[in-house]
Structure 1
Amino acid sequence: MKNTITQFSMLIFLLVATSGFAQKDFYVGLKAGGNLSGFTTNDFLSTDVFGLQVGAIGVKNFNRNFAAQVEVVFNQKGGIFEIPFSDSNPEIKLNYISVPILGKTYLSNNITFELGPEIGFLVSKSTTSVGGFAGLDQIKSLDLGASAGFSFQFYSGLVIQTRYTYGLSKLVDGSDYRNSYINLSVGHFFKK
């Protein structure tokens, strides 16, 4: 985990450091925010939990109407399973390095609609359940999702984003558990 955080920090530093060499139609920035995440499943009810999101953003404008955005973010996901007839409701915490790859359509000069896939690489997992959670060791290390959202960018470089991501891949083979989360974040683009 410590090695992953070090590598992630170095990647963010390189993205920010190289932004000075960027063309005017390409820019990078940093973002931080919160996730409200849970599991979609037909087996049990799931209560959402709060997690953090922090990372780097890169945007390439193709024209006045369309751009591509790639992010590399540390993403905390998870949820609380509400198991019927049980006193144990395990809270599962999953930490990912996520890479959303989004197409952006400009609805105005400041507002964009964003849509695209998200790839998540599991870096750690834990549970608060006293006896543990039997399926914790079976959680897959790769999580695929579909993201859609909006962003509002100020001329100063400040950006506010909101997004919903629905898990396309199952967390565990043989079950229908999928990650699902809503995100609200604030960022800043470093423009030339």
Structure 2
Amino acid sequence: MKKMILAVLILASAKGFSQTTTTPPENQGFFKKIASRLEFGITAGGNYSNFTNANFATDPLPGFHAGLTVSYKFTDNFLVSEEFLYSLQGAKVKDGAFAAQEIKLSYASVPILFKYRTNSGFYVEAGPQAGFKVKEDIGGITDAKFAKKIDFGLAGGLGFQSKIGLGIGARYVYGMQKVSETPSPTLGDFKNNSIQASIFYVF
């Protein structure tokens, strides 16, 4: 993850370096071309999360997400986007060992999404997502070691981006990995799932 962040910073500064007199003319054109294809942005919104395949009854848990985005445009319509998000997920438990408690799982999520955007601004997107557990809160207990440190999923969504860079989007994240750190027939092989609605701005 550190390497990806470093790469983003290097690419972001490429346009500035291309203006210096010490850069050879042939490299100036290369850096300008890369910089012209980059899009940076900020995003924030709400989550509506739950568990699937759980051996206990649950209700969805409202949460939120916020973070930064960077995209590379292969063409005017095809892009690949990487996001760095803080995301609160989980579920409200209705019965079993955690009855009447909220399971809140906070992740540093990194989705990598391939996107097709029309000339009018509407887009569809899909790709993998990795989540790195930052914090968990099980009914007020924050050191329960309930969930695995890493979570994987697949994301897909659609949205609209205006000409000025302001946009809205909706996304579904389907969990591919069991959440529980310790396997338990009582709890089941439950996974994270989340619906996300976002507002974003691209610079």
Give the number of aligned pairs.
174
TM-score by length of 2: 0.77
In structure 1, the residue matched to 2:79 is 67
Q: Choose which of 66, 78, 81 in structure 1 pairs with 2:90.
A: 78
AA partner of residue 83 (structure 1): D
1:101 maps to a residue whose letter is I
1:188 corresponds in structure 2 to 201
CA distance in 1, matches of 2:73, 2:192: 30
Name segments (4+ residues, structure 1) moved above 3 Å.
18-22
RMSD over equivalenced CA pairs, Å: 2.6
Q: Is 1:105 matched up with 2:113?
A: no
The within-5 A match list for 1:31-70 is: 31-70=43-82
Supply the distance in 2 between the matched residues of 1:177 and 1:87 (Cα, whole angstroms). 14
Q: 2:99 is matched with which residue: 81, 88, 98?
A: 88
CA gap of 1:141–1:108, structure 2 versus 1, over 3 A, is same
Tell me which residue corresponds to 1:3. none
Deviation string 1:87-109 (CA, Å, 9 cap, x unpaired) is 93221001100000000012443
Taking structure 1 as the reference length, the TM-score comes to 0.81
* Structure 2: 5+ residue stretches without partners: 16-33
Q: In the superposition, relative to structure 1, how do residues 156 and 87 fare at CA in structure 2: closer, same or farther (>3 Å)?
A: closer
1:151, CA displacement in angstroms? 1.9
Rg larger in structure: 2
Q: Classify 1:87/1:54 alpha carbon distance in 2 versus 1 (closer, same or farther; 3 Å).
A: closer
Specify the SS of the correspondent of 1:56: strand
Q: Which runs of 5+ in 1 are unaligned?
A: 1-6
Looking at both structures, which has the greater relative contact order when contacts are Cα pairs under 8 Å and sequence separation is at least 6? 1
Determine helix, strand or coil for the equivalent of 2:82. strand
The residue number in structure 1 matching 2:152 is 144
